[in-house]
Amino acid sequence: MTGSNSGTDATLSLLRFINESPTPYHAVDVAAQRLAAQGFPEQRVDQRWDEPETRGYVRIGDGAIAAFELGGWTPTRGLTILAAHTDSPALRIREQSVGWRKGCLCLPTELYGGPIRATWVDRELGIAGRVAMSDGSVNLVRLDGTAIIPNVAIHLNRKVNEGFEYNAQDHLVAICDASPREPDGKAADLLRKRVADACGADAGSIAEVELLLFDAAEGTLLGDDRSIYASSRIDNLAGCFANLEAFLRAAADAPRILMLYNHEEVGSLSGEGAQSSLLSRLLRRLVACAGGDEEDLEVVLARSTVVSNDAAHAIHPSFKDKHDPDYAPLLGGGPVLKLNGMYRYATTAAGAAGFARACERAGVAMQRMSNRSDLPSGSTVGPITWARTGITTVDVGIPILAMHSIRETGGAEDVESMIRALAQYCDATDDS
């Protein structure tokens, strides 16, 4: 992966982050390592926080992480909260259904979120996830280039190009071995043995596994001028990466929180998701450590802002009619402000003005996106966080094409532009 455009370094760093993060659990681990390397100590949720802490990070389960940089903050000041989600649409392996079928070792799957199903077919796939051991520990595991979901030949499905629906139960079954001598039958123990070998454990010590398929191909820069990039999981690891980098770049005296939730693609209703009390509980503990009380907490909530950073729809040159021409962002055109009259995005005029000022100070262009009035909008952690906490929230994102495909496309300049805008937004936290 090479390139020469301004902003290329940030995009290459994003692609490395994505490649190292085949699952939300890996993404959290990579983010934790980055924070630790920058001097952020880990805090434990299961231990008391009695002393005032100015910086740190905390893992929430295995798939979410939060970090804070407080400097000289007191509970009379607001905080900037950079929010995103670590999960992406995927196929989850149904371990107990793994078995030999007609000479192939088959891995049946179920949908996680809303992937574009056809894009998962005929691609080199890996297996990754987390392994819960009998002693209570959790290991991460990754098996690259392990499986494929083969299509059926056009000769046997003559109407495939006229529109074909891939049934999640019957058709999205990966194969990872072929042996005509194996009789049909269950083979969950074989998969578990391979997982154990990959994480250096004994198969008998594994209590449970949670495994996902992922695109084994690395992300890459494309075009003569390397102005576009293609990768899996841009939605929403690009949001996580930009938030993390901006959080680390912002001024030391800009009080801020990084909040990377899990499970947004399946509704955020979990202990690691935005519908949980994670953010409120974190703020309560930080206020208490700083000597504040419940009234101070209410002041902090009222004076803080949330930036919800999730991928945005760029206008597609072959599907222009799917976009409102006045709200259709371009690849490479800069960060996108996301708007929706039904508040599927949490942006209000006040939040929009604040983000626009940050983009202006950062010297980057800002774009606006709103779906066609006759096309329902998706949503983000933004409206959920706004409803749970009452904190003023703005929804933004990097413009991409083919959202929820196994392979998405973005503009290389937009990564650095978003980081700069978010860092400026942090630096402008209201301290009134």
Q: Are residues 303 and 415 in the same domain?
A: yes
Does pLDDT of 241 surpass 50? yes
Q: Are residues 15 and 152 in the same domain?
A: no
Q: Are residues 161 and 19 in the same domain?
A: no
Task: Specify the number of domains making up the chain.
Answer: 2
Q: Are residues 210 and 82 in the same domain?
A: no
Q: Are residues 408 and 262 in the same domain?
A: yes
Q: In this predicted structure, what is the pLDDT of residue 281? A: 96
Give the mean model confidence (pLDDT) for residues 299-318: 97
Q: Are residues 255 and 373 in the same domain?
A: yes
Residue at which a domain ends, from 162, 180, 215: 215
Residue 41: DSSP 8-state: P
Q: In this predicted structure, what is the pLDDT of residue 6? A: 55
Q: What is the domain-level CATH number for residue 124? A: 2.30.250.10
Residue at which a domain ends, from 183, 215, 247: 215
Cα separation, 339 vs 349, whole angstroms: 10
Instruction: Phi first, then psi: give them for residue 370, nearest 5 degrees.
Output: -145, 135
Q: Are residues 415 and 266 in the same domain?
A: yes
Give the mean model confidence (pLDDT) for residues 274-303: 96
Question: How do the residues of the chain divide into helix, strand and coil, expressed in percent and rounded to 5?
Answer: 30, 25, 40
Does pLDDT of 264 surpass 80? yes
Most distant CA atoms of the chain, gap in Å: 74
Q: Are residues 351 and 272 in the same domain?
A: yes
Structural domain boundaries, residue 347: 8-88+232-427
Q: In this predicted structure, what is the pLDDT of residue 145? A: 81
Mean per-residue pLDDT over the chain, rounded: 95
Burial class (CB in 10 A: 0-12, 13-18, 19+), 263: buried
Instruction: Phi first, then psi: give them for residue 242, nearest 5 degrees.
Output: -65, -40
Position 156 in a domain: yes
Q: Which amino acid is at 258?
A: L
Position 180 in a domain: yes
Q: In this predicted structure, what is the pLDDT of residue 99? A: 97
Continuous segment of H or E residues that includes residue 302: helix 294-303
Position 225 in a domain: no
Residue at which a domain ends, from 185, 215, 245: 215
Quote the pTM value: 0.96
